[in-house]
Amino acid sequence: MSYNDILGQDDIKTHLKNAVSLGKISHAYLFAGEDGMGKFEMARTFAASLMCEAGGSEMCGECRSCRQAASRNHPDIIYFDPDDAPDNKQAEYTREKIVGDILVRPYQSEYKVYIIQNAHKMREISQNIILKSIEEPPEYVVLILLADKKESMLQTIRSRCVDMTFRPVKKELIESFLMRKCEVPDYRAKEIAAFSFGNPGAAEKAAVDEEFKERKDLISRLLSGIYDRESYEWIPFIDKMLSDDDNLNEYFDLMEDWFRDLLLNKIGASESKLCYDNQVLKIRECAQRVLFSDIDNSLRAVTRARRALAANVDKGLIIFNMLASFSVKDN
């Protein structure tokens, strides 16, 4: 966790770092922008920087306070989300969690920071409840409201907050981020970045979804042919998984999903319940060729493979043995 992990928004970072180094902290900030723009990370990093024991303009990441902040265990950084309120009790919830708490002095820091997520989901009554906390806060209090756009907040609130609107991030920055973090090839990074309209979170999600789709496709191609292929024909599939070996557990999840789909099909469950709902024909065909006990054996083989993976056995061997257990049938 650090400002470097947030793409773009250089003006906001500079403003917040200066505020900390000059000790000119406002009592309320309004971070406005779509989901995925980095508001939450910015708020957490700013809060941690305010409390860092090293006393620089940004968090050091090493001290006890920074470590507490990074693991979301800092007693003086409070997270509030109106979505957590019980049904129809948003106002009471807001009163209890913010107004009722704000007079309690910080435990270990000079400040007490409230990070209010989804502030745009606060009804007018709830916004009015926190208004007084924003108008006359105790000197140690900092409220950071995160909202989709500033117009979602009452004018009375907006006028008392430092307004920080998150701007679309440059395409080139998003591209290199996707290549670095999601290991997307450059031509795809370009395409995804072009359609993300400057929103790095949305771009990352699109890239990750795409990887997931590719993995799922690999597993369905592998397993739909597992009873017909010779074992040497597994090699390209195994190599592909090994080249992506940080995600072996996800491949294993997808294999379990496949066998559960066979099971669901055998018991006549609705095909809309299948995880591989785009492969219904293959699922049907495979399900007809196996017994319940085959499916059970295959699921056990995946469990064994997970255990072996945790025990640092050779990964290629683990996968090969697992596939060999899949293809051995009782009938």
Interface contacts to Zn ion, rule CB under 5 A: 52, 54, 60, 63, 66
* Minimal distance, residue 66 CB to Zn ion, in Å: 3
* Minimal distance, residue 74 CB to Zn ion, in Å: 11
- Comparing CB distances to Zn ion, the nearer of 25 and 223 is 25
- Comparing CB distances to Zn ion, the nearer of 4 and 331 is 4
* Minimal distance, residue 327 CB to Zn ion, in Å: 54
Token code pair at residue 309: 């993976």
Partner residues linked to 80 by β-bridges = 116
Element (H, E) at 143: strand 141-147
Element (H, E) at 31: strand 28-32
Contact 276, 257 (CB under 8 A): yes
- Comparing CB distances to Zn ion, the nearer of 63 and 280 is 63
Give whole-number Cα distances, 222 to 213, 254, 274, in Å: 14, 11, 18
Token code pair at residue 226: 């597992």
The Cα 119–Cα 227 span in angstroms is: 54
Angle between the 280-289 and 200-224 helix axes, to the nearest 10 degrees?
40
* Minimal distance, residue 77 CB to Zn ion, in Å: 13
- Comparing CB distances to Zn ion, the nearer of 69 and 122 is 69
* Minimal distance, residue 18 CB to Zn ion, in Å: 18
Contact 93, 86 (CB under 8 A): yes
- Comparing CB distances to Zn ion, the nearer of 52 and 178 is 52
* Minimal distance, residue 56 CB to Zn ion, in Å: 8
263 burial (CB, 10 Å; 0-12 / 13-18 / 19+) is middle
- Comparing CB distances to Zn ion, the nearer of 57 and 325 is 57
